[in-house]
């Protein structure tokens, strides 16, 4: 696996070595020893999300208690993954990073704790798996509205499918609880 640092501190794009032949392909999507060496983190929970339609935005979500680093991998389909540095005191506070992930390129995104995370589904029947460094805590879940004008994220869509919960999230400047650096 190749770990590439990205412009936001702590964010990595991971490229596994993919072995292909006439039968298909094989690759290691996770090896704890590699992640301990590169990122020094442990993972405790795996999640999987299925989206039957495209043009769905999920997020932008984060937790304070039990903050989660996430390892994002698309098993089937494609997403436009977006993260925002919301660590109070960070030099990159409010900056975002966006990358397309899909089941053809097998790229994996590591999102450290202290970032809000969300994505736009680009293909029907997309499956996203993500591995977390901490357990989900619904009492500590927060979020930022997907179309926050101060973040200026170009999702490439004006009228996405959004859950009622995500549609009612506040903008970043209205957040009263943010992770500390």
* Model confidence pLDDT, tens digit, residues 48-94: 999 999 999 999 999 999 999 999 999 999 999 999 999 999 999 99
Which of 61, 73, 106, 117 is catalytic? The answer is 61
> Is residue 130 among the annotated active site residues?
yes
Residue of 12, 119, 130, 142 marked catalytic = 130
Section 107-120 average pLDDT: 97
pLDDT at 40: 84
For the chain, give the DSSP string.
-EEEE-SSTT-EEEEPPPEEETTEEE--S--HHHHHHHT-----EEEEEEESSSSBEEEEEEESTT---EEEEEEESEEEEEEEE--BT-TTTT-EEEEEEETTT--EEEE-TTEEEEEEE-STTEEEEEEESS---GGGEEE--TT-TTT----S-SS-B--HHHHTPPPGGG-S---B-
Q: What is the pTM for the complete model shown?
A: 0.94
Whether 166 has a pLDDT exceeding 90, the answer reads: yes
């Amino acid at each position: 696996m190749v770990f590439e640092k990205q412009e936001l501190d702590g964010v990595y794009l991971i490229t596994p070595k993919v072995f292909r032949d006439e039968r298909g392909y094989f690759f290691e999507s996770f090896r704890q020893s590699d992640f301990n060496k590169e990122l020094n983190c442990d993972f405790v929970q795996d999640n999987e999300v299925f989206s039957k339609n495209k043009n769905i935005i999920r997020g932008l979500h984060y937790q304070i208690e039990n903050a989660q680093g996430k390892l994002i991998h698309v098993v089937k389909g494609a997403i436009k993954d977006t993260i925002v540095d919301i660590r109070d005191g960070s030099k990159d506070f409010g900056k975002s990073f966006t990358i397309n992930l899909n089941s053809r390129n097998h790229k994996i995104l590591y999102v450290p704790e202290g970032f809000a995370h969300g994505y736009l589904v680009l293909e029907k029947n997309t499956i996203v798996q993500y591995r977390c460094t901490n357990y989900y805590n619904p009492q500590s879940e927060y979020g930022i509205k997907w179309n926050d004008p101060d973040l200026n994220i170009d999702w490439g869509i004006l009228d996405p499918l959004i859950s009622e919960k995500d549609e009612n999230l506040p903008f970043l400047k209205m957040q009263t609880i943010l992770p500390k650096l």
